[in-house]
Structure 1
Amino acid sequence: MLKKKASVPASQIDTLIGAQVVIRGDFHFSGGLYVEGRVIGKLIADDGEKAVLTLADNGVVEGEVRAPVMVINGTVNGNVYATERIELGSKARVDGNVHYKVVQMAAGSVLTGRLLHVDSEHASAGVEEMAEAEGMPRLATVNG
C-alpha cells in the first residue's frame, strides 16, 4: 500500500512577511509562508519540500509564484504554478497564467490570464515543461 505524503497544514506558519515589509528579489521558502506585505520578484518553494503559501487580502506579489499549495486572497502580477492545489479567495486578483493540478475559485475572485491544468507527471517535474504555454495570449477574465 502506498502512503500519501503529508503536506504542511494550511494553518502552520513558519515565516511571516508583515504588512509593512517589501522584499525585492527572489524569495525561496519551505513550510508555511504567510504574506501580508509585498514581494517584488519570484516567490519559490524549495523543490521536494512541503510548502504552503498564503497571500493575505492586502498581500502583493509582483513576479512568478511556485508552490505546491497556495491560498491566494491578495494580488499576484505574474504566472502562478501550483503543483498540488490552489485556492483563489473572493478578494484574489491574479494577472497571469495559473498552472494547477486542483483549483478552487470563490465568487468575486478575478483571473486575467489562462487556467492551465497540469497532470501529475508535469506537476511532479515542477511544471518546467509548461514553458511553451507562456507565449499564449491572455483570453479570459473570470469575475466570480
Structure 2
Amino acid sequence: MFGKKAQPPIKGLLAQGCRIEGQLRFTEGMRIDGQVVGNIHAVPEQPSLVVISETATVEGEVVADHVIINGTVRGPVRAAELLELQPRARVEGDVSYGAMEIHQGAVIVGLLRHDPPAEEKPLLKLAASNA
C-alpha cells in the first residue's frame, strides 16, 4: 500500500540554524533541519511528506500523510498514512498513525492511536442466475 505510491517531492527546506516561530503550512514535501516553534501542517487533500531530521526540533503539532522523524518533536503527531520513527527520534506527545515503522532507539512519550485511513469498500456483486 505505502511502497507502491510515489512520494511527493520535497520542495521546502528549513535549514539547520534557522528558526521559525508560528504556523508552517506546506504542499507536497517539506524537510526540517532547523527549529520550529509552532504547528507544521500539510495542506489537506494533497499527498504530503514531512521529514524532521536528526538536527531538528519542533515544538508544536505535526500533521501530514507521511511523517519521518529522526529529531525531536514536542507535541502531537498525526500521520494519516505512515509514521516512520528513525533511531534518534524523540516524540513527546500523542501519536495518531495509519501505519507505523519504528526503529530501535526511537522514543515516544505519549499515547499511540492507530487510525487507519478510510478505504473504499468494494461493491457487492450478486451472482446472476443462468436460468
Would the TM-score normalized by the shorter structure come out above 0.5?
yes
Equivalent in 86, 95, 99 of residue 98 of structure 1? 95
Which residue of the partner structure matches residue 28 of structure 1? 25
- The residue type paired with residue 52 of structure 2 is L
User: What is the alpha-carbon distance in structure 2 between the residues aligned to residue 7 and residue 117 of structure 1?
Assistant: 23
Matches within 5 A, 1:20-99: 20-99=17-96
Structure 1: gaps spanning 5 or more residues: 124-144
Aligned residue number for residue 111 of structure 2: 114
4+ runs of 1 displaced by more than 2 Å?
5-9
Give how far 1:119 is off. Answer: 2.7
Point out the structure with the larger helix share: 1
For these two proteins, the number of residue pairs brought into alignment is: 116
Equivalent residues in 2 for 1:9-20, closer than 5 Å: 9=8, 12-20=9-17
Aligned to 1:8: 7
Q: Which runs of 5+ in 2 are unaligned?
A: 120-131
- Matched residue of 1:99: which SS? strand
1:42 and 1:62 mapped to 2: Cα distance?
A: 7
Q: Identity rate of aligned residues, in percent?
A: 34
DSSP-derived class of the 1:120 partner: coil
TM-score by length of 2: 0.84
Mapped contact 2:99–2:116 kept (Cα < 8 A)? no
Contact 1:45 1:67 in 2 (8 A): yes
8 Å contact from structure 2 (residues 80, 116) kept in 1: no
TM-score, L = length of structure 1: 0.76
